[in-house]
Each structure stands twice: as C-alpha cells, then as structure tokens.
Chain A
Amino acid sequence: MGMTVSQKILAAHAGRNQVEAGELINCKLDVVLGNDITAPVAISEFKRLGLNRVFDRDRVVLVPDHFTPNKDIKAAEQAKILRDFAREYDINNYFEVGQMGIEHCLLPEQGLVLPGDLIIGADSHTCTYGALGAFATGVGSTDMAAGMATGEGWFKVPETIKFVYYGALPRWVSGKDLILHTIGDVGVDGARYMSMEFTGEAIKALSMDGRFTMANMAIEAGGKNGIFEVDEKTIEYVQGRAKRPYQIFNSDPDAPYAEIREYDVSKLEPVVAFPHLPENTKPVSEAAEVSIDQVVIGSCTNGRLEDLQVAARLLKGRKVHPELRVIIFPGTRQIYLDALRQGLIEIFVEAGAVVSTPTCGPCLGGHMGILAKGERALATTNRNFVGRMGHPESEVYLSSPAVAAASAIKGRITAPWEIEQAF
C-alpha cells in the first residue's frame, strides 16, 4: 500500500519503510523551535533533566518574537530566560531583536527548515513549513523540552485529507482566500488530528509566499500539519538558503486518503472570516457594510514581501481613512529591508499607516495595537477568537492583505476592485 508524503516523512524519521495511520511511533527530529512565551516553560522543564547539553546546538532554534521588543518587565524576564539559555548552552540559532523576525517567516528565510524535514515547534503555527514539503507541527513546551533533550518525539501517524484546487485564480484571490475558504468549508475541527495535503493546478500557480500563508493556517482547521508538493518554485526558494542536504518526498499514486475535497477556484472571490471563529467565512462582497477601527497587515500568516507589495499597490498615493488606524508589521528584518529598498515603507508612511518592527504583538493581543471595548479590527492574521486582539468585547475580522489595504482606505470592509475602479 502506498503512503502519503506526511506518512513517508514520518516513516523515514522513525527508521521504517512503512507506517500506517493510527500507529504511535518515535521519530528523530530535524529542528526544535520555541519562542519567548513557550520556551521559558520548556527551559524550566529541560533543566529538570539535569543535562549539560541540548541534542544538537545547531538544530534548536530560539526566537523571541511574541512580546518583543519587551512589552513590560515580566516579558523582559521571559526573553532573558531565552537569552541566558542560548548563551549557557551555546545555541547557534538564537535570534536577538535586530536580527530576528516572526519565527515562521524567519526559519524558512534563513534556510533552517527544509523539504523532507520533521520539525516540531512550541507554537501552533509551526505547520507553516509544510509549504516547503516538510512535516512540521505545533507542540507544547514539554514536548519541546523533550525534543531539545533527546532530538526525538512521539507521533501518532495521521490520516490525510487531500485538498485539490483547480481552475485559474481570479485577480485579488490569494493563498489567504483559499485557506479561509477551505476552513469555512470543513470547519475549525474539520481536519482535527489530520494532515492537510494541498494540491492542484491553482496551488502550482501560487507563489511560495502564498503557500506559506496556506500551510500556516492548517491549524485553524484543527490540522496536525499542512503540506505541499515540492516543485521548481520550492527548489528555487531553498537554493542558496539551505546549509545542509535535504530529501524530497512525494505521495504515492495509491496513497490512502481519508477524504478528497475539490474546489474550483475560478469561482472564488476574496474571503473574510467574521468573529469569533476562522470558519465564519463570507465572500468580501457580502461583508461590505462592516465599519472598522483598525487594520493590521502582517504576522506569520501574511507578513511576507508579496503581502506588503500587494498592500502598497493599493495604498500608493492614497490616504488611510481618517477614522481608522493602520499598523503594518513586516515578518522579518530582511523583509523590512527589502520593503524599504522597494519604496514600500515610504508608501505606507505617506498613506498614514505606522510600520512596526517584526513582532507577533497585535495578532495575539500582546502589544503594539490592542483593541478597546467595542472596537473592530480587520487583520491579515490567523485567529479571530473572543479577545484575541484585546478587550473581550472587541472584534477581529480576517482577510487577505489586498482586502485589508482596500478597507484601510474606505474605513469599512471593501473589495480591492472598488479601489481600482475609483481611480
């Protein structure tokens, strides 16, 4: 019997030729990741083992990105735990403020995660790296601690749902819209415990940035991982970044799928997820009268260069609506620099947006853009749960960067083509 790409990666890391869904297996890990919220708990657990080294100091990655630059004294103490640990244990991949970025934009950019890898991260959006054809999944701090100690982790081999996207992508429809549409279709637990395999001609046409966005939100359907086939775009992305060899795995033609779902993307329009679940999706044309107080463009979901380019194209020469705040935060230092050199930052500032250093801050209601009671935000982030961006009685709507930028100009949720027609 054939295997899916996810099963093949797990089998290879367990030293097995064959695994089947439902089996519990022990696997060798390629990368173990943590941030300033999850790693302090993991470090405290790790120290209970009394070891004087991590399993591999090149394969433990620590990124202080959630509450940094430190939002308060307690957050500063947490970030210091990472810094001290990185120095004490000689961790090569610790990224200080000034070098860092939002972890799931940073690790692929730095070539630290590669096709065929098995990666765990103490952050639910670790599934982002599936865009590279890796098996990457979010875990808690204790799993991270065990991973740092042993370089191994236990896994239940998941079943796979195959999502096939065919047809040509209409203008303004992006990876974000495809994944929001998919979550709206299957629900926030529609892929619980399962692998989500994204295929089809529309996926082939998608840029790497668009694929990262889709893989990133597999967790919002309850998925264990989201994964893409490695193609020439993946290879082009990885070339020049990879500092170690990697292996490409593909699903067998007779691989077992729990379900296959097909979408004709040519009929889609940009999608907006209404409060308070990512599954509450509507086409943007049905969201038109929702007024907003804040627009957030960035995050591990949509903080990459292509996202900023799309936003800049709409904001260029225009002004942010006077009754609205716009916060833009590039995903990494490199993305920030590229945006600066391409003139995007100037466009944003002239339009009346503020541009932040890379941080997870506003996405999880940490800092840098918290909502007051009754306020409403449209964000290119990944979650719109109750209280996610601030007060429990505030609201978050989710969209692509194009819809977010168009809405920033109008002050209400707006389809990008409304802006194009107006000028």
Chain B
Amino acid sequence: MKLKGKVHKFGKDIDTDAIIPARYLNTFDPRELARHCMEDADPEFPDKVQAGDIIVADKNFGCGSSREHAPIAIQGAKVACVIAKSFARIFYRNAINTGLPILECAAAVDAIEAGDEVEVDLEQGTITNLRTGEIYQAAPFPEFMQGIMAQGGLMNYLKEKLSHQSN
C-alpha cells in the first residue's frame, strides 16, 4: 500500500499525554479524541491536520502511558502514518494491534522537513521525499507482526485464529 501526504514534524520524546491529554480520556470516540490530537505539543494541530497527512518525529515517540487512545486519536485525525527515529514500546505494540502504520527510519526523520510532501510504500518500507526525490529505507517488521498488520490489527488476527481452532 502506498501513502502520500504532507508532513507535520515533532521533536523527541513526544509522550502520550501530548498525543492525547488525559483530561479527554473520558471517551474513546475517535472523532472526539481527534479534536484534541497532539494539542499539548502543537495547539493548532487539530485544526490544520488534513486527511492523509503524515507525522514525522524524533526518538521515543509515544512514551509514557499505555493509553490506546493515542493511536486512536491519530487515526481519528486521519493521519496516514507515523515515521519516527524510534517508538516507545507500548505505543509500538498498540499501533500494530490497532492497524496504525508506523515506520522507524532515523535518516528520513533527519532529512524531512515540515510541509514536505512524502510518499510511503508500506510493503517495501520505503519513504520518498517528493521535494528532494531522496528515498529512505525503514527497518522491516518481523514476519509475525506483518501478519497482524495484514489482518488489520490483533483482534482480526485473533478472530481468524479462533475460527480455525473451532473448525
């Protein structure tokens, strides 16, 4: 699958309180969470983000709380993909489990600027900066995780597995 979108750039250690502040966690409705997505890191983000846009961030994206509301808020804001130098462990798991595309690629993060148009090929793990024409290769996912992602998340994967067991 290929994605194309405009880049919003963030720094290092973006925590899940910045992605979706706890004061809004009295719901898990994606549209409501999207209205506050990234609000404490960039108050204008919920207004300026467009469907298909891409978040590019430095190291340790999604550190802190385990709230799955973080990937849900990002998906609710129709962000197509997150590229970072590294992801915090629970966020990484949650993104795979909920079907939010994520890529780890330090070189791309260093080179890509806010506002750049970027194309991402999820199968190949390549990131193309359409402004400069440069292509970057992201780290591949283990096969097992690719299986979960191919099913669109852990619950679909599990549903499939449980149906085989009962047959």
Residues on A close to B: CB < 8 A? 24, 37-38, 40-41, 44-45, 48-49, 66-67, 71-72, 74-75, 77-78, 121-124, 126, 138-143, 145-146, 149-150, 154, 188-189, 192-193, 219, 222, 224, 277, 364-366, 370, 383, 385-388, 390, 392
Contact = CB atoms under 8 A, between A and B. Distances in A.
Given A24-B144, A365-B23, A142 B155 contact: yes
Nearest to B72: A41
Interface in B90-133: 90, 93-94, 97-98
Interface string B47-91: 000000000000110011111110110000000000000101110
A49 to B, nearest CB: 6
Contacts of A122: 66, 68
A48 B97 CA distance: 14
Contacts of A392: 21, 39-40, 43
A193 B90 CA distance: 9
Contacts of B94: 139-143
Nearest to A193: B89
27 contacts: A37-B25, A37-B69, A40-B28, A41-B68, A49-B158, A66-B22, A77-B26, A78-B26, A78-B27, A123-B65, A139-B66, A139-B90, A139-B93, A140-B67, A140-B68, A142-B153, A142-B154, A142-B155, A189-B63, A189-B86, A222-B88, A364-B65, A366-B25, A383-B15, A385-B15, A386-B18, A387-B21
A140 B25 CA distance: 14
B1 interface: no
B155 A146 contact: yes
Contact of B13 (A38, A188, A364, A370): A188
Given A41-B28, A188-B63, A365-B22, A138 B88 contact: no
A388 B25 CA distance: 13
B120 to A, nearest CB: 23
B66 A192 contact: no
Contacts of B88: 189, 192, 222
A66 B97 CA distance: 24
B3 interface: no
Contacts of A383: 15, 17, 64-65
A366 B22 CA distance: 6
B63 A142 contact: no
B106 to A, nearest CB: 13
A45 B27 CA distance: 15
Contacts of B72: 41
